[in-house]
Amino acid sequence: MVAGNWKMNTTLQEGIQLGTQIKNALQDKQPACEVVIATPFIHLSKMAELMQDSIVKISAENCADKTSGAYTGEVSAAMVRSTGAQYTILGHSERRAYYHEDYDILRQKVLLALENGLKVIFCIGEVKEEREAGRQNEVVKAQLEGSVFNLTAEQFANITLAYEPVWAIGTGLTATPAQAQEMHAYLRSLVAEQYGQNMAEDTTILYGGSCNAKNAAELFANPDVDGGLIGGASLKADDFMTIIMAR
| Residue 11 near residue 46, CB atoms below 8 Å | no
Minimum separation from the CB atom of position 148 to ligand PGA (A): 18
For the chain, what is the total number of helices (H) and then of strands (E)?
12, 8
User: Looking at beta carbons only, is 19 or 91 nearer to ligand PGA?
Assistant: 91
Angle made by CA atoms 103, 100, 107, in degrees to the nearest 5: 25
Touching ligand PGA, residues 173-212 (CB under 6 A): 208-211
> What SS3 state is found at 158?
coil
Catalytic machinery residues = 92, 164
Q: Interacting stretch for ligand PGA, rule CB under 6 A, among 27-35, 39-47, 179-187, 230-238? A: 230-238
Q: Select the residue interacting with ligand PGA from 90, 230, 245, 246 (CB under 6 A).
A: 230
Minimum separation from the CB atom of position 210 to ligand PGA (A): 4
Task: Map residues 60-79 to x or -, x wherever contact with ligand PGA holds by CB under 6 A.
Answer: --------------------
Q: How far is CA 147 from CA 55, 139, 156, 199, in A?
A: 30, 13, 11, 18
Count of residues engaged in binding ligand PGA, rule: CB under 6 A: 13
Minimum separation from the CB atom of position 216 to ligand PGA (A): 10
Touching ligand PGA, residues 145-164 (CB under 6 A): 164
Q: What DSSP line would sit under 185-221, residue for residue?
A: HHHHHHHHHHH-HHHHHH--EEEESS--TTTHHHHHT
Minimum separation from the CB atom of position 150 to ligand PGA (A): 24
User: Looking at beta carbons only, is 200 or 216 nearer to ligand PGA?
Assistant: 216
Write out the H or E segment, with its range, that includes residue 39: none
Between CA 9 and CA 25 the distance in angstroms is 21
Between CA 94 and CA 228 the distance in angstroms is 17
Which residues make up the interface to ligand PGA (CB under 6 A)?
5, 164, 169-170, 208-211, 229-233
